[in-house]
Amino acid sequence: MDHETNSEEHSGEMRVLAEAGLWKPGEDGPAGRPARLELLRGLPELGASPERIIDADARGDLQGLGFDLLLETDDLDLGEMAAAVGMERDELCLLYRHLGVEIEDLQEVRFARNEVDFVNRLRCTMSVFPGETGNEVLQALAAAMSSLAAASIGAFVGAVEPELADGDDELAWNRSITEAGRGALDLVSDMSGLFRHHLRIAIEQQRSAMRHVESRQLSVLAVGFVDLVGYTAEVQDMPVEELVAYTSRFRHRAHDVVTSHGGRLVKHIGDEVMFSAVEPGRACWIGHALIEDFCESVSLPRGGIAYGPLVARHGDLYGPVVNLASRLAETAVPGELLAPAAMAEHTPEG
Q: Looking at residue 347, what is its pLDDT?
A: 62
Q: Looking at residue 350, what is its pLDDT?
A: 46
Q: Which residues of the chain have pLDDT under 70?
A: 1-10, 297-298, 346-350
Q: For the packed helices 89-98 and 114-126, what is the interaxial angle rounded to 10 degrees?
A: 80
Q: Apex CA 324: angle with CA 337 and CA 316, to 5°?
A: 100
All domains of the chain in start order, with CATH:
2-70 (no CATH), 78-193 (no CATH), 198-346 (3.30.70.1230)
The CA distance from 295 to 243, in Å, is 18
Closest CA to 349 of 257, 285, 304, 276: 285
Q: What is the pLDDT of residues 241-300, one digit of tens each?
A: 888 888 888 888 999 999 999 999 999 988 899 999 999 999 999 999 999 888 776 678
The CA distance from 274 to 325, in Å, is 10
Closest CA to 325 of 346, 348, 302: 302
The CA distance from 142 to 135, in Å, is 10
Amino acid at 153: I
The CA distance from 272 to 254, in Å, is 10
The CA distance from 113 to 161, in Å, is 32
Phi-psi category of residue 227: left, alpha or beta, with phi > 0 → left and psi -120 to 50 → alpha: beta
Closest CA to 303 of 276, 268, 269, 339: 339
- Cβ–Cβ < 8 Å for 266, 316: yes
Closest CA to 319 of 337, 307, 332, 329: 307
Q: Looking at residue 90, what is its pLDDT?
A: 93
> Is the full-model pTM beyond 0.75?
yes
Q: Looking at residue 169, what is its pLDDT?
A: 84
Q: Looking at residue 117, what is its pLDDT?
A: 93
DSSP-based three-state secondary structure for 113: coil
Q: Looking at residue 298, what is its pLDDT?
A: 67
Q: Looking at residue 297, what is its pLDDT?
A: 67
Long-range contacts (CB closer than 8 Å, 24 or more residues apart) made by 330-336: 330/304, 331/304, 332/302, 332/303, 332/304, 333/302, 334/229, 334/230, 334/300, 334/301, 334/302, 335/291, 335/295, 335/300, 335/301, 335/302, 336/291, 336/302, 336/303
Chain mean position to CA 317: 20
Encode burial over 247-260: b for 16+ CB neighbours within 10 A, e otherwise: beebeebbeebbee
The CA distance from 44 to 42, in Å, is 6
Q: Apex CA 150: angle with CA 116 and CA 188, to 5°?
A: 40
Closest CA to 280 of 302, 255, 301, 310: 310
Q: What is the pLDDT of residues 73-105, one digit of tens each?
A: 778 999 999 999 999 999 999 999 999 999 888
The CA distance from 248 to 246, in Å, is 5
